[in-house]
Amino acid sequence: MDIQTKLKKAIEQALKALGLSASEIVLEHPADPSFGDFATNVALSLAKSAKANPRELAGKIAAELARQNIGFVEKVEVAGAGFVNFHLSKDFYAAELETILKRKELYGSSNEWRGRKILVEYTDPNPFKVFHIGHLMSNAIGEAIARLVASQGAKVRRMCYQGDVGLHVAKALWSIQRNIERMPSKRAPLSERTAFLGDCYVEGSNAYEDDPAAKPEIDQLNKSIFEGRDRKLMKLYKVGRKWSLAHFEEIYKKLGTKFDYYVLESEVVHDGVALVEEYLKKGIFERSEGAIVFKGERFDPKLHTRVFVNSMGVPTYEAKELGLNTKKWKKVRADRSIVITANEQSDFFRVVLKALEQIEPEAAKATEHVSHGMLRFASGKMSSRKGNVITGESLVRDVEAMVAERLKDRDMDEKRKAEVASLVAVAAIKYSILKQVTSSDIIYDFEKSISFEGDSGPYLLYTAVRAKSILEKAKKERVKGKVGESAGESAIERHLARFPETVSRAATEKAPHHVATYLIELSSMFNAWYANTQIVNAADPGSPQKVAVTAAVRIVLENGLRLLGAKVPERM
């Protein structure tokens, strides 16, 4: 049982002894360490209903807690207007430090979610289009959430839903047909083949918007792809799709993601249409101007009407999403199905989930949409339709090049420098995304993101590498880490003990920024300590304790970075 759970149970017992109960007990860490390690405002929240003075009630709760003689709690006291503060003993921090050194890569994990099956769908790029920075954001957030949830004992499955049918495909194929003589051969580098597809998509998109003759041709192509009867067209379609999917796999590998399931829109589109037609007869959907629509406002005044099958008989994204979520439910039967997409799709999901609720209520109940903001640069939002896009792949490549420039004078061979540059670039980008609240927009700063100092991913990696070098020095000088009597005296040790609760909160709230913030604080504490402390000194009786703390910092940093989807290099 972790210390927070133990304290909450003790508070519940104290309240029960006083004839009281609380629907929720909140524990926080006081900003000033002199006020203890944990504080609860339960007396303040219950005072009115208990018709008691908050501070007097806090005193009674503290007295009941003192009678329980809670393990590892040295002192319980009342502070301020009615807070109950807990001071933990040195023995607690010594035991926690021992736990870190013993559990190593397992520290921070728990069995809190054991027995739960969680499906996380994220990234979701579209074949025939570039892997843009929105996909990169979805991947970073989705992978981190998947890892956080898995760390709490849940059985996690990762899914990627890739849009291989739809108007975007028709736009690309319209242009490909007109540029067939420029189409690269299957032996050309994959990057060249996918660049051609991206250029064709941009050309087709611009023609659809600007050329009155092109629009009906592309609309007809869209219908033909959906019907799948034109063999020549479908052969060209399958080649382009194959190139795109292969290219995406290269990106997933670099980002450290491996999906358990891939679902293509073409695999669920007909299921979606069938559901719409079935529930049209049951009055859930309605016909409107030749299209089939779902009037969300009929079921919730906050919703609106959306088209599920257009007037040409072609299903929209809404119908495909309906097919996808019923397929998910039948295939995985997850306790929770989490979908990661951009904020701009929030209204779309609210209506689709309401429609799903009428068809498969259990699936709708299990489905949760987690939205994220946009990654922006100085020139504003990018558009793959207009072609002025910084792709997810090019962003990684550009950051790699900047990191490589900073590593050029390091004592490493070129292969090692390239490997380190790749790891640092991925950490730089992921941290820049994950340090923010998920729903927030991000202004990406290239220079700050690759800084080896301050609030950045490379700074975290550098701190972990520094800790390792200290441990290597300790090994050479035969100073073995050992938890001593001074355990719990430093802010670092108190902060280390908060890692499991931070991970648990981040998993529960699906908020990776809690872990990112924790790691930056830990790194800052450790580097300040390192600058003013001789850690390895065979003649210093306190050195084994310092080495043990350094080993714990290294373990926690590696574990936290792994949860964020970053890997620590051996050297930097």
How wide is the angle at C-alpha 399 spanned by C-alphas 395 and 402, nearest 5°? Answer: 145
pLDDT digits (tens, 9 = 90+) for 123-170: 999 999 989 899 999 999 999 999 999 999 999 999 999 999 999 999
CA–CA separation, 321 and 263 (whole Å): 11
pLDDT surpasses 90 at 93: yes
* Residue recorded with tokens 């301050």: 454
Q: Last residue of a domain, which of 345, 376, 407?
A: 376
**pLDDT digits over 456-507, tens only?**
999 999 999 999 999 999 999 999 999 987 776 789 999 999 999 999 999 9
Candidate from 183-197, 288-302, 484-498 with smallest mean pLDDT: 484-498
pLDDT tier at 558, thresholds 50, 70, 90: very high
Burial class from Cβ neighbours inside 10 Å (0-12, 13-18, 19+) for residue 30 reads middle
Q: Interior CA angle at 138 toward 137 and 140, to 5°? A: 65
Q: Is residue 24 part of a domain?
A: yes
126 in the same domain as 74: no
CATH code for the domain in which residue 539 is found: 1.10.730.10
Buried b (16+ CB within 10 A) or exposed e, 424-440: bbbbbbbbbbbbbebee
Work out the burial of residue 393: count CB atoms within 10 Å of its CB; fewer than 13 is exposed, 13-18 middle, 19 or more buried.
buried
Model pLDDT for residues 363-418, shown as the tens digit of each residue: 999 999 999 999 887 555 444 444 455 788 889 999 999 999 999 888 888 999 99
Nearest residue to 275 (alpha-carbon basis) of 266, 285, 290: 285
Within a domain: 268: yes
Residue 427 lies in a domain: no
Both 153 and 269 in a single domain? yes
User: In CATH, what number is assigned to the domain containing residue 361?
Assistant: 3.40.50.620
Domain tally, the chain: 3
Establish if 550 belongs to a structural domain: yes
Residues 233 and 341 in one domain: yes
Indicate if 337 and 275 belong to the same structural domain. Answer: yes
Give strand pairing partners of 287: 292
CA dihedral of residues 409, 414, 415, 419 (deg, nearest 10): 30
Phi and psi at residue 52, to the nearest 5°: -135, 155
Shared domain check, 197 and 51:
no
Share of the chain above pLDDT 70, in %: 98
pTM (2 d.p.):
0.93
**What's the CATH number where 66 sits?**
3.30.1360.70
| pLDDT for residue 355 is more than 90 | yes
Residues 40 and 180 in one domain: no
DSSP class of 297: G
Q: Is residue 17 part of a domain?
A: yes
Domain limits for position 480: 449-563
Residues 54 and 139 in one domain: no
> Do 363 and 455 fall into the same domain?
no
349 and 484 share one domain: no
Whole-number average pLDDT of the chain: 94
pLDDT for 44: 96
Q: What is the pLDDT of residue 325?
A: 96
Q: State whether 479 and 330 are in the same domain.
A: no
